[in-house]
Amino acid sequence: MNAIDNRDVQSLMTRAIVQDIKPEAEGVLTMELVPDGEAEWPASDAGAHIDVELPNGTVRQYSVINPGEPNKYVISVLRAPDSRGGSKYIHDQLSDGSVVRVGRPRNNFPLIADDRPVCLIGGGIGVTPLLAMAQTLAGTDREWWLYYCVRTPAHAGFGRLLDRFGDRVRMHYDSASGSAPDLQAMVGTFDDAHVYCCGPQAMLTAFEQCTAEIPSELVHIERFSPADIPADSPAFIVELVRQGLTLDVPEDKSILDVIEESGVQVESSCRIGICGTCETAIVEGQADHKDEYLTDDEKKEGRSMMICCSRSKSPVLRLDI
Ligand code: FES
């Protein structure tokens, strides 16, 4: 398992006070979270995220913008138009002094510590983990660029932080160019670089296409929305062995959706494969892992899977539900 598994993280959640909450850009709030009381929080690494549990019980994941700083996590939150109770609640209900709960930082999107150059590409609120990486890189001799892509100047935030990075930052405004960013050109900034991307789904899909020929160990993606189910992902069957239920999972639905539609209650939170809440033991069959929670070794072992996003390589998957 990961060093801290999801159950541990849930139990390690501590009360936090919201402070210095303020508008960052169009539809984006930035806030500091600090311990309520004597709790000691570890510093986060670049690329890490925390679980934030809101007073309404919703748990969401947000990148920590200030790496290396204990006892304070800075996060930014975009008001999602289709918010299921996370970003809408934060924008409408939280203010300085509000109390939430936070988990310890976890990192599915680490900055690889070698000598290669680094190309960071962030779209909209997806820039937040990359801002943490940029701060870490700024104190090193490594070559790096940060591309920050937004719709208009009003959608761009983090000005004071970006100013510190000088000409390492390249802005792309859709409104100015009249087109989406040229990811191919950005990815080609350096030879043999690590390339990192976080942003909306369309950007990540384009990024995956233009990095298809790059060795996978150099390509790093962080998602904060569900990945599209691949068009060539076949339908399969799941058997819930404890429930005695057999369900068809069609090409366009997740296992989690199908199980919920059957009336069986299972735990979930992020629904995009990053939090570990929906981890389910595999009794028989081979999962096609799509999450960013399990390690590569855990995926090879095949003992469990994230049913919110992963698929099946075998016609039938038997799950411990
Ligand atoms: S619900 Fe978060 S990993 Fe599945």
Residue 150's CATH number: 3.40.50.80
What mean pLDDT is reported for the chain? 90
Q: How confident is the model at residue 231 (pLDDT cuts 50, 70, 90)?
A: low
What was the pLDDT predicted at 270? 80
* Domain count for the chain: 3
**The domain boundary residue, chosen from 222, 246, 275:** 222
* Greater model confidence, 51 or 72: 72
How far is residue 176 CA from its own chain's centroid?
A: 28
Query: Is residue 84 located within the same domain as residue 134?
Result: no
Q: What is the mean pLDDT of residues 275-304?
A: 90
The most distant pair of C-alpha atoms in the chain lies apart, rounded to whole Å, by 60
Query: Is residue 136 located within the same domain as residue 200?
Result: yes
Ligand 1 geometric centre to CA of 100 (Å):
20
What was the pLDDT predicted at 226? 61
What was the pLDDT predicted at 4? 38
Q: Which of 2, 61, 108, 275 to probe ligand 1 with, by most ligand atoms within 8 A of CB?
A: 275
CATH of residue 272's domain is 3.10.20.30
In the β-sheet with 14-25, what is the strand arrangement from edge to edge?
59-63, 49-53, 99-102, 14-25, 28-35, 73-78
Q: How far is residue 170's CA from residue 244's CA, in Å, rounded to a whole number?
A: 55
Q: Are 227 and 197 in contact (CB under 8 A)?
A: no
Q: How far is residue 180's CA from residue 99's CA, in Å, rounded to a whole number?
A: 39
Q: How far is residue 188's CA from residue 196's CA, in Å, rounded to a whole number?
A: 12
Q: Are 25 and 157 in contact (CB under 8 A)?
A: yes
**The domain boundary residue, chosen from 222, 253, 271:** 222
CA-based nearest residue to 44, from 132, 131, 126, 172: 132
What was the pLDDT predicted at 6? 45
**Range of the structural domain that residue 197 is part of:** 118-222
CA-to-CA separations, 308 to 69, 101, 114, 256, in angstroms, rounded: 32, 24, 33, 5
**The domain boundary residue, chosen from 191, 222, 253:** 222
- Give the residue whose CA is nearest to atom 3 of ligand 1: 273
Closest ligand 1 atom to the C-alpha of 269? 1
275 lines ligand 1 (CB under 6 A): yes
Q: How confident is the model at residue 178 (pLDDT cuts 50, 70, 90)?
A: confident
Ligand 1 geometric centre to CA of 139 (Å):
34
Query: Does residue 1 fall inside a structural domain?
Result: no
Q: Are 73 and 64 in contact (CB under 8 A)?
A: yes
224 lines ligand 1 (CB under 6 A): no
* β-bridge mates for residue 196, sequence order: 120, 220
Place of tokens 């289709």: 82
How far is residue 264 CA from its own chain's centroid?
A: 27
207 lines ligand 1 (CB under 6 A): no
What was the pLDDT predicted at 203? 93
Query: What element of type H or E holds 37?
Result: none
What was the pLDDT predicted at 286? 96
Query: Is residue 85 located within the same domain as residue 146?
Result: no
Closest ligand 1 atom to the C-alpha of 273? 3
Position 269 pLDDT exceeds 90 = no
**Side chain identity at residue 157, one-letter code:** G
Closest ligand 1 atom to the C-alpha of 270? 2
Place of tokens 């369309």: 202
Q: How confident is the model at residue 120 (pLDDT cuts 50, 70, 90)?
A: very high
Closest ligand 1 atom to the C-alpha of 309? 4
Position 2 pLDDT exceeds 50 = no
230: Cβ–Cβ under 8 A, 6 or more apart, which residues?
311
Query: Does residue 141 fall inside a structural domain?
Result: yes
Query: Does residue 230 fall inside a structural domain?
Result: no
Position 29 pLDDT exceeds 70 = yes
Position 7 pLDDT exceeds 70 = no
Ligand 1 geometric centre to CA of 56 (Å):
19
What was the pLDDT predicted at 229? 64
Position 264 pLDDT exceeds 80 = yes
Strand, coil or helix: 126? helix
Query: Is residue 268 located within the same domain as residue 314?
Result: yes
Task: Please tell me what DSSP assigns to residue 216.
Answer: G
CA-to-CA separations, 230 to 3, 56, 189, 282, 283, in angstroms, rounded: 30, 33, 29, 22, 25
Q: How far is residue 193's CA from residue 144's CA, in Å, rounded to a whole number?
A: 9
Half-sphere exposure of residue 111: CA atoms within 13 angstroms, side-chain side:
26
Q: Is the dihedral of CA 118, 123, 128, 129 positive or negative?
A: negative
What was the pLDDT predicted at 13? 85
Q: What is the pLDDT of residues 140-164, one digit of tens each?
A: 999 999 999 999 999 999 999 999 9
What was the pLDDT predicted at 276? 83
Task: Please tell me what DSSP assigns to residue 153.
Answer: G
Query: Does residue 240 fall inside a structural domain?
Result: yes
Query: Is residue 215 located within the same domain as residue 127?
Result: yes
CA-based nearest residue to 205, from 221, 191, 185: 221
Q: Which of 274, 304, 305, 321 to probe ligand 1 with, by most ligand atoms within 8 A of CB?
A: 274
The whole-model pTM stands at 0.81
291 lines ligand 1 (CB under 6 A): yes
What was the pLDDT predicted at 139? 84
Q: How far is residue 181's CA from residue 35's CA, in Å, rounded to a whole number?
A: 39
Query: Does residue 208 fall inside a structural domain?
Result: yes
What was the pLDDT predicted at 189? 83
Position 5 pLDDT exceeds 60 = no
Stretch among 35-39, 290-294, 303-307 having the lowest mean pLDDT: 290-294
